[in-house]
Structure 1
Amino acid sequence: MQSQELLKHAHLKVSLARTSVLQQLLDAKAAYSAEQVYLQLQQQQSGLSLATIYRVLTELEQAKLIERQYHQRAKASFVIRQQRTQFQILHVQNGQVEAFEHQDLSNYLNQLAEAMQQQLVKVELTLHVQPKAEF
């Protein structure tokens, strides 16, 4: 679904700010902080201020199009709410979050739910990693 269709479905007015921010999150392969969304949109010369980005993110969250996530000391990050399976790696030293896909793991989790005669609705898995200590 395109960003404009999602906004209409959520009964939000389609505006440049909302469309730009939502499209940025739809295209993202990882969770983005407000500052990361701002920097991405600045590269596209959108002219949106950081305050506008925060306002739009709050509106999208209230409309249940996105969700806010917190990872230890890292700033809040935002992802599209419709994502059913989300695997992430959190680098504890710098707070960097990156998404990854693993088809075997997804299949295993679906099989596990099926074996329990349940339907898997949503998966959130965050691996907290740090460099190995050298001796």
Structure 2
Amino acid sequence: MQSQELLKQAHLKVSLARTSILQQLLDATTACSAEQLYLQLQQQHSGLSLATIYRVLTELEQAKLIERQYHQRAKASFVMRQQQTQFQILDVQTGQIKAFEHDNLSKYLEQLVDAMQQQLVKIELTLNVQPKSEYQSHLARGK
């Protein structure tokens, strides 16, 4: 199981709570709040309390396995720590965050940094979006 290997590499004891929470984050396609993880794990009858989830999330963050993110006024969400590239789309109305990959964009950014004679350490890109109709009406009011 991948979550158990990650815990061992981070020198953390492999426990049911750590394994369950880390596996949820590995399987997730979007960032998850502690409350979302709690609900997902309750559906699996894990028996983990919300306090345990918060404690384990803090441990995983300190071990640099996951990252805590804040987007506007939304609650903190957690994602697996990315090695280099992280692209996200944030719906500013709902607070939903979706991760995406784009090979051409990654390659372009790497070429750009190379042309600047710099070493690329990490890419973090968040696109803040909202439905076009609302954006267009917002622009019309501003004129």
Q: Is the TM value for this pair above 0.5?
A: yes
**Partners of 1:102 and 1:47 in 2: CA distance:** 38
Equivalent residue, structure 2, for 1:34: 34
Q: Distance in 2 between matches of 1:131 and 1:96?
A: 13
Work out whether residues 74 and 96 of structure 1, in 8 Å CA contact, stay in contact via their aligned partners in 2.
no
- The CA distance in 1 between the partners of 2:19 and 2:125, in whole Å, is 28
Using the size of structure 2 for normalisation, the TM-score is: 0.86
Question: Aligned partners of 1:3, 1:117: CA distance in 2, in Å?
Answer: 37
SS of the residue corresponding to residue 124 of structure 2 reads: strand
Q: If each structure's helix is expressed as a fraction of its own residues, which one has the higher value?
A: 2
Secondary structure of the 1:3 match is helix
The aligned residue for residue 88 of structure 2 is: 88
- 2:60 is aligned to 60
* Number of matched pairs: 135
CA distance in 2, matches of 1:95, 1:57: 20
Equivalent residue, structure 2, for 1:43: 43
Tell which structure's C-alpha radius of gyration is larger. 2
Q: Which amino acid aligns with 1:58?
A: T
Q: Secondary structure at the match of 1:75?
A: coil
83 and 41 in structure 1: CA distance in 2 versus 1, 3 angstrom threshold? farther
- The runs of 5 or more residues in structure 1 that have no matched partner are none
- Matched position secondary structure for 2:118: coil
TM, length-normalised to structure 1: 0.91
Q: CA RMSD in A?
A: 1.6
* Local SS of the residue matching 1:67: strand
Give the Cα separation in 1 of the matches to 2:63 and 2:49: 21
1:82 and 1:95 mapped to 2: Cα distance?
21
1:24 aligns with 2:24: yes
Residue 103 (str. 1) matches residue 103 (str. 2): yes
Q: How far does residue 111 in structure 1 lie from its aligned partner after superposition?
A: 1.4
What CA distance in whole angstroms lies between the structure 2 residues aligned with 1:102 and 1:56? 31
Q: Does the 8 Å CA contact 1:65/1:81 hold for their aligned counterparts?
A: yes
Q: Report the CA distance shift for 1:92/1:82 in structure 2 as closer, same or farther (over 3 A).
A: closer
- Whole-angstrom CA distance in 1 between matches of 2:35 and 2:84: 25
2:27 & 2:84 partners in 1: Cα distance? Answer: 16
- Tell me the secondary structure at the aligned position of residue 25 of structure 2: helix
Task: Measure how far apart 1:114 and its partner are.
Answer: 2.0
Quote how far apart the aligned CAs of 1:89 are: 1.0
Which amino acid in the other structure matches residue 122 of structure 1?
K
